[in-house]
Each structure stands twice: as structure tokens, then as C-alpha cells.
Amino acid sequence: MLTPVAGGGLLDRRLFLTRGLVFSTATAVSPLILAKSTDSQLPSWMLKPGEPFSNYGKPSLHENKTIRWAMGNSMAPGNGVSWAPLHDLEGTITPNGLHFERHHNGVPQIDPAQHQLMVHGLVSNPLIFSIENLLRYPMRSIFCFIECGGNSNAGWRNIPIQTQVGYFHGMASCSEWTGIPLHVLLEEAGIKSSATWLIAEGADAAAMNISIPLDKALDDCIVALYQNGERIRPENGYPLRLVVPGWEGVLNVKWLRRLHLISQPSMTRNETSKYTELLPSGKARQFSFIMDAKSLITNPSLGYKMAKPGLYQITGLAWSGRGKITTVEVSADGGKTWAEAELQEPVMARCFTRFRIPWQWQGDQVTIKSRATDETGYRQPERETLIKQRGTNGYFHYNAVVSWKIQADGLISHVYT
């Protein structure tokens, strides 16, 4: 029958793939038996023609609770975050209207006919591109996540925050970005050998800027014009943004207007007063660009209530700025034993990866959690290990294992283990 592969009722990851699985009445999934239902009364929507077509589709009215959670700042209007509701989403691609937002001074309403991108500094041939020019360049697409360096920062607090996954870890989203490889535009301007960094600057009222090592810029960055097939939304950088795969969100400069090639980092606000992390030694980490491997169970998670004991699928997201996720292990006994979850194909580097594992909940109190390993062999740390290495004053780059306690009555809370 359903033989556990690890404690707490974790089952073989391939269980749902095998054809032989027959749900018993002991399972939590109990569809209506056909004989008991009646087909004699048609629902109202089958009795008259449906609504007219629309120019741009919207979600069902029944899904109006799946929204971003916007948190403004009355002291600094335009500065804030809106979180992606990761707990309500499936698959790996974040719908454009739900991609998280992080703005330093609001969303500029840019006229693409007037917007320009300048490439200057240590180049032999400074250039200015219009959007019309850029749209004629050969493009490529990459699937990748963008994650704010400050995502999950509530994890540094002494008491576990009791909020849904998205409002804790939802400063991360994943899209297919399409645009021009950054190296093409830089090389066209003629990079001087003395250039080692560039400053990227946006056209928002904050003119947000940051220094990026030239090696990364020439490697896999793109100047994106499209997000999941359509032109980028204003809040995500319309008409163009930088995409810096796997690195801190702040480097992905939106409303991109200027690329200034230089020979050393310019020590902007975002690499000095922000995005430096105070360590227990008293020294600070700086230029800690890469977002390390992270994973979290999105379902079941805080905010849901388990219906009754039986068969469930534990699912969640894993990602790493260093490359592909190779394994996600799940524990249903607080970390004593672990079982390997199924990774949903395709597994792509620097991209959200969906994991799933079947689970037989016996109805006892249990703690479930996940940990990810990436292709470099890096494994997501337990909270205790992370804090030992980095203290609690760093604010950025929190990526420890996340645990959910499930009570016998089915209620779920966030715990540290």
C-alpha cells in the first residue's frame, strides 16, 4: 500500500505519477460519487450566451483575493514594496499583474517615444538608443527569477513572523524576460580595456543607480523589453529594464536610461549604506550579489487549514542564483528524516523550480520543512547555522530553511526549529 519513505508519512515522490494509485476513502481528496449527483438542473451560465469578448483579459471575479499586498511608507511616498502572493500561485511563472514590486520613488509613466538609453564613460563610441532602435535588435529570452536582496528579512527576527508565504518571501517572482543581450550594446559602444564596472541608472524620480561588475554585464545580462510575452509593465520597468540573472533584485535597474562604464565601483547608496551586511566580527559583507539557494513549502502553509487526515501533496518553490536546483528534500518530522521531492520539469538555472511530494498526514502535530541544494553543491542552511555565520544584523540575504507547524486541529503556524 502506501509505504512511507520518511518519517511523518512522507511518501515516494513518484507516487502520483504511477498509474496504479487509487484514492481510498481514507484520503483527504473525496470527489462526489457520480450516482449521487444530479445532472437534471443545468447551471445558470449554461442557459444563455456568455459575456462578450474583451480586449484584455482579467482573472475570474471568484479569484479577486489573489492580489499583491502593497505596503507603502507614509514617511516616504513612492518608496515601498508590493508582495507577490506566492501561497496562492502554482507552477513557476509569476503572472505579470502579480509580479512583486519594489520602488524607491513610485512608478514613472514613461513615454517610450521620448525615452532614451545612453551608453558612455570608458567607451570609444558613446551611444544613445531610442526604444524604436532597440526593438530592431536581435533578442533572446531567459526564464529567471528576480529576488530583492531584502526578501525574507523577517527571518532575522527572534520571533517567527506569522504571515502567509507571499508576505514574507514574496519579494521574489519569476518571468520569461526578452530583450537584447547587454554585451551587444556595450560592445557596439566599444568597451575600453580600462573599464571593469558600470553604473546602471533608472529614469524614476529617484534616478536609482548601482554599480555592476563588467564581467557579469558581459555574461548573461539582458536589456529586457518584454515580460512573459508582452511589453514590460510600468511597475516592472517599462519601457526597458536590466535583468541580471540570479543576483540581488536591486541590480535589475528598471526604467533603464544610462549605462556608464567606469574602472571601479562608484560607491552609490545601494552598495554602501544599503546592501552591505554587518557580520558578528564587526566587519561588513559588501558586493554579496548572488542570491543563494532557497526553498519553501507554499502548500500547505500558514493561512490554510488541513481538512482531515489523509493524502496530500506538499508543494513549494526552490531557486538558486548560482544555477540549477538539483535536489529539494522535505521533512515531515521537524528535520529528523528527509525524503527527496519530485522536481517539476523543466528545471532551469536561476529560475523558480516547483517541487512536489505526496504525504499521508496521520492527523498528529507535525512540522514540515524543505531544503534545497543547487548544482554547485551549496545546500540551504538551517536558521541556526545561518545565524552562526552571519549574525542577525545583516538584514539582507536571508535564505534559511522555513518550517510550518501543523497542529492536530489542522491549523498551521510558522516556527523556528
Q: Which residues bind ligand MTE (CB under 6 A)?
A: 99-104, 146, 148, 202, 204, 206, 208, 236-237, 249-250, 252-255
b/e string for 59-95 if b means 16 or more Cβ within 10 A? eeeeeeebbbeeeeeeeeeeebbbbbbbbbbeebbbe
- Any contact of residue 200 with Mo ion (CB under 5 A)? no
Smallest gap from residue 157 Cβ to ligand MTE (A): 20
Smallest gap from residue 331 Cβ to ligand MTE (A): 30
Compare residues 250 and 325 and give the one whose CB is closer to Mo ion: 250
Neighbours of 162 (CB within 10 A): 13
Range list of β-strands (E), 85-171: 101-103, 116-121, 127-130, 140-147
Q: Which of residues 91-120 bind Mo ion (CB under 5 A)?
A: 102
Compare residues 11 and 242 and give the one whose CB is closer to Mo ion: 242
Compare residues 150 and 358 and give the one whose CB is closer to Mo ion: 150
Q: Which residues contact 25 (CB under 8 A, 6 or more apart)?
A: none
Compare residues 177 and 338 and give the one whose CB is closer to ligand MTE: 177
Query: Shortest Cβ contact with Mo ion: which residue?
Result: 148
- Any contact of residue 144 with Mo ion (CB under 5 A)? no
Distance CA 291, CA 406 (A): 29
Number of residues counted as binding Mo ion (CB under 5 A): 4
Q: Which does 122 bind (CB under 5 to 8 A by kind): Mo ion, ligand MTE, none?
A: none
Smallest gap from residue 314 Cβ to ligand MTE (A): 27
Smallest gap from residue 300 Cβ to ligand MTE (A): 27
User: Under DSSP, is residue 8 helix (H, G, I), strand (E, B) or coil?
Assistant: helix
Smallest gap from residue 150 Cβ to Mo ion (A): 6
Q: Which residues are paired to 129 by β-bridges?
A: 117
Compare residues 270 and 326 and give the one whose CB is closer to ligand MTE: 270
Smallest gap from residue 374 Cβ to ligand MTE (A): 21
Q: Which residues are paired to 83 by β-bridges?
A: 69
Compare residues 220 and 342 and give the one whose CB is closer to ligand MTE: 220
Decide: 278 and 284 in contact? Cβ < 8 Å: yes
Distance CA 236, CA 226 (A): 10
- Any contact of residue 249 with Mo ion (CB under 5 A)? yes
Distances (CA, A) of 146 to 7, 10, 80, 150, 352: 34, 31, 16, 12, 10
Compare residues 94 and 373 and give the one whose CB is closer to ligand MTE: 94
Cis peptide preceding 4, ω within 30 of 0: no
Compare residues 9 and 265 and give the one whose CB is closer to ligand MTE: 265
Q: Which of residues 147-166 bind Mo ion (CB under 5 A)?
A: 148
User: Under DSSP, is residue 190 helix (H, G, I), strand (E, B) or coil?
Assistant: coil
Query: Shortest Cβ contact with ligand MTE: which residue?
Result: 202
Q: What is the 3-state secondary structure (H, E, C) of 361-375?
A: ECCCCEEEEEEEEEC
- Any contact of residue 239 with Mo ion (CB under 5 A)? no
Q: Which does 252 bind (CB under 5 to 8 A by kind): Mo ion, ligand MTE, none?
A: ligand MTE
Site residues for Mo ion per CB under 5 A: 102, 148, 249-250
